[in-house]
Every structure is written in structure tokens, then in C-alpha cells.
Amino acid sequence: MQSTMIIVRPAPRNKSRALIQFDTLRIPAAIGRSGRTVTKLEGDGATPVASMKVLHGFRRGEKPLRLQTPLSLRRIGAEMLWCDQPDHPSYNRLVKAPFRPSHEEMKRADGLYDVCLVLDWNVRSRARNRGSAIFFHMIKPGYEPTAGCVAVHPRDMRRLLPFIRKGTVVRVL
């Protein structure tokens, strides 16, 4: 597979579902509970319609996933949080506990971030309230909607990871 772009197309009849196309692979996915949007705002539950580069990733270290990828994946520690408070200087950044402003834990008990790739949505060039923590991560059972991320089954993540590098584009249509 030579493609450097992952295409995320909306699925018919369900705004929170998508179909991922990567070269010859076609994979079901979940997106934001509010579907897609071109005007992403913090907390709107929508996945931004955009072309977003993969910047880096995280993985749970205590779960042996046998991942094959050229992408550098940092092991998630219990102290790792992601700031989602728009008026904080660390908005849409990795922060360390203890941290009082609004945030989400990277070491989730539900396994969603067992593999978590950070997409360049409002990361390199940040704007307050434009959305935070837009990741490519593992799916909830039943392909439940995300809060704005793109999520796939662990089996499909393992199929994609060998081809994902820093700079691979995830393009949400």
C-alpha cells in the first residue's frame, strides 16, 4: 500500500458513522455524535471536515498489543492528561496531573486510547474554542459515536498502523 491519505467518508443514514478508505481497504468507523462540521467548536460533538496530519501517537504500555508501525508511539502514563479548557494557556495540549482545569485522561479505563493518534486539528496553530483532542483511536463497542474523533475497531487499527507515518493525512469529507 502506497497511499499517504486516509479518507473518512460519511456513512449513509447515520451521521455518527463513517467509512474509511485507505488504498484498497474499506473500514467502518465512528465519528462525532453530531456528525461532521466545517465550523468546529469545543464541545459540539462534531468531527471537523478537514485534512489533518498525524502528528504523533500514544499507546497503553501494560497491554501487549504487538503493534507494528513506523510511527513513534509514546507510552501513556497515569499522569498524562489533555487540556480541553479553551481559556487555558495549555488548551489542546498534553498536560500532567495534578491539573485542575478541564481535561481528559489519556489512560482511559475503557481502552479507547490503547492506541491514540494525535491529528493536527487546532494543535500546531491553536485558536480558542476551535476544538481539542481530535484523535484517531479505538472504537467503543457497537461503533458508538465519539466526541469528535475518528474511531476504528482494534483489528482495523492493527491493519492500518503499519502504513501510518508522521504526516499521513486523515481527510474527513
Q: Is 41 exposed, middle or buried (0-12, 13-18, 19+ CB in 10 A)?
A: middle
pLDDT band, residue 83 (cuts 50/70/90) = very high
What does the block give as the cell for 91? 488548551
- 3-class SS at 172? strand
C-alpha distance from residue 82 to each of 40, 64, 116, 166 (Å): 18, 24, 12, 20
pTM of the model: 0.95
Instruction: Identify the bridge partners of residue 32 per DSSP, sorted by sequence position.
Output: 146
Q: What percent of the chain has pLDDT over 70?
A: 97
Phi, psi at 136, each rounded to 5°: -110, 110
Res 143: pLDDT = 92
What is the pLDDT of the chain when averaged over all its residues?
94
- Sign of the alpha-carbon torsion through 65, 55, 148, 163: negative
- 52, amino acid identity: M
Instruction: Identify the bridge partners of residue 7 per DSSP, sorted by sequence position.
Output: 21, 171
Quick: pLDDT tens for 36-81. 999 999 999 999 999 999 999 999 977 656 788 999 899 999 999 9
Mean pLDDT value across residues 116-137 = 97
Res 140: pLDDT = 87
Largest Cα separation within the chain, whole Å, is 45
DSSP code of residue 32: B
